[in-house]
Amino acid sequence: MATDPVCGMYVEERPESLHLFRDNRTYYFCSETCRDQFADPVRAERDLGRRITVAWPLALAVVVLTYAVGSRNAVVVAAALATVVQFYPGAVFYRGARDAVADRSWNMDLLIAVGSSAAYGYSLAALVLPGRMPPGTYFDASALIVTLILTGNYLEHRTRARAGSALDRLRELLPSTATRVVGGVERPVDVTEVRPGDLLRVRPGGRFPVDGTIRAGSTTVDESLLTGESLPVARSPGERVVAGALNLDGLVDVEAVAVGTDTFASQVGRLLSDAEMSRVPLQRIADRIAAVFVPCVLGLGVAAGVGWAILGHAGPTVGLLVFVSVVIIACPCAFGLATPAAIVVGSGRAAEEGVLFRGEDALERAARIDLVLTDKTGTLTEGRPALAAVRPLGGRSEADVLALAASIESGSEHPLARAVESAAHARSLRIPPASGVRVEAGVGVRGEVMGSLIEVRRPEPAASDRSAGPGGMAASDLSAQGRSVAFVFQDGTPVGVLGFSDTLRPGAREAVAALREDGIRTVMATGDGAVAASAIAREGSIADVHAELTPAGKLALLRSLQAAGRRVAFVGDGINDAPALAAADLGIAIGSGTEVAKDAGQVVLVRSDLGGVALALRLARRTVAKVRSNFAWAVGYNAVLLPIAAGALVPGLGLGVYAVLPIAGALAMALSSTLVVANSLSLRWVSIGPARSPAP
């Protein structure tokens, strides 16, 4: 037996079963609808969006014509509009009902199709045969049934497109062409033509098309989106580079090592796809209820209608009215609205605070979280280097050293250069002009300032280190603190040491404290080195740190925590975080991060404020409570009114009650939906105060 990846139903793995081959595996589906949604989730989402755009204005017009106007001509127009709603937007439910019948199963689509068709068909017959049918039409009920339930389905389908969209953005990051060098001659080629061993040339500002080894030239590489390393890293001949990384400042020749699906970025993509597809199918409360509720309602309607028509000697017209009353009252508007109404209101309330929930299951997942696993670079930290320390040497002042460094770094686009400039401007220092500035890729920069040769360089190898002595001690001290180090030389003599580091986001410490107060544990997982990670963890008051993790390592850590029974939210911003975001019980993406991360995450913090994490979890619990109370009302409503619709009150009221039962059923259904919406709207006035204990 296989599990349908869309609806979670069990499917026999037979050759004649509905199946689709993708990602080197075969998926089995319970219906054509599920297969189509899986094959192209984006197209399925857009199709539902178009249907909703048609359904809502027409359904509202039907209600106005029925109740505000009420004339026969208005009812005729309402019938025409309801027909469009019934058979264009409503076609989705007819297809689902057809699949349910073919599969000999019960689902909400079947009950929605029967209920809306009963209301529509009876109303059409009453309109066309006014003398032979009891008065009363219910076109508004049929149109609203289709429109409201279709809106809930649309919210679900928006989640379906997430994995495919994230993978598409990952592919967009990789270059489509490469420059191959043969016999010293450059030739542009499609990246699919590159083979291991080919020599490729990558210019400053370009991205590496494959994983490879540098054979000629030196440069500085920004790998932050792929590896989690926040600071640019120097790469020299013999060192590895990865596809998608940005070449900052040097012309290099790279020997291709891993190409196509073997590259690091492609492996991240596979991890993302596997995590998305291995997730346990969502628990669909409405469908679980439908498995029992739908056949019971249909059976009750038929039994009541036949019973009163034949055994009760009331005739076929009365029997039909009883059947219609049962189905209209039971038609699951309240069930269908219970989740989307609360989700829409709760999500809107969260959006006002800069928290976006992606998919109708995100809030329910957030309500159960008891551990937050967070990335460091660009998540806890700003994701860009800042000058953290200036250690002057030889009696020089910090201002002198910083001014000299800023003079030759001025105008450079290198991240460390911008950090030096920003620090100098923040101190309002006078920056002397520089001339003859020359960049040595992967090493540093030099130039002439006021007649002196000024250099800003990374530490040199020990064999030729000009920075021994006090400068070396200062550099070692800064490195021990997790800082990236650069030396400032004047005419060959070290005059200062600069320490760079990523900086903690404002409010990060407070966010961690708020989670701790709520009983939620915070754990850091990063690709950065242990020293840098520990420094940020101390600053953010995080006790549990896991450093130097690959994307696969982060995913393994996350799954080990889940195996231990923890419900884990992962907070990240980079491509390297996408697999963990997809596999977590809740993925929370920083809004300033990459589009891949935001597509993989179920929650996006627009303001990049970690306080949004605690806010999201608090608000989620309140919203889920509303969903549960909505379902409780829907169940209670049906338990009370279904026996009435079946004729329980007739012995005391007489046969005349049959004529008003369908009208009463439509009003009761409308009241049920109104109460569900009103209950959900109360979320608008929920204040974000002290959090309650995490949901079990």
Q: b/e map of 557-579 (b: 16 or more CB within 10 Å)?
A: bbbebbeeebbbbbbbbbbbbbb
Q: What is the 3-state secondary structure (H, E, C) of 174-223?
A: CCCEEEEEECCEEEEEEHHHCCCCCEEEECCCCECCCEEEEEECCEEEEC
Q: DSSP code of 472?
A: H
> In whole angstroms, what is the distance from residue 51 CA to residue 639 CA?
32
> In whole angstroms, what is the distance from residue 258 CA to residue 446 CA?
36
Contact predicate 229/377, CB 8 Å: yes
Listed in order, strand segments (DSSP E) in 108-193 are: 177-182, 185-190
Nearest to 96 by CA among 84, 105, 88, 86: 105
**Secondary structure (3-state) at 358:** coil
Helices (H) and strands (E) in the chain, counts: 24, 26
> In whole angstroms, what is the distance from residue 142 CA to residue 605 CA?
39
Contact predicate 143/86, CB 8 Å: yes
Q: DSSP code of 490?
A: E
> In whole angstroms, what is the distance from residue 452 CA to residue 448 CA?
5
Q: Which amino acid is at 318?
A: V
The separation between CA 222 and the C-alpha centre of its own chain, rounded to angstroms, equals 25
Nearest to 549 by CA among 532, 528, 570, 569: 528
Query: Which position among 211, 370, 375, 599 bears the catalytic label?
Result: 375
Q: Which amino acid is at 420?
A: V
Q: Which amino acid is at 367?
A: A
Beta-bridge mates of residue 219: 235
Nearest to 568 by CA among 577, 576, 559: 559
Element holding 312 (H helix, E strand): none
Alpha helices, DSSP H only, in 481-610? 508-517, 530-540, 551-563, 578-583, 595-600
Active site residue 99: no
| Strand-by-strand arrangement of the 252-258 sheet | 185-190, 177-182, 199-202, 252-258, 211-216, 240-241
Alpha helices, DSSP H only, in 437-507? 470-480
- Kindly list the catalytic residues: 375
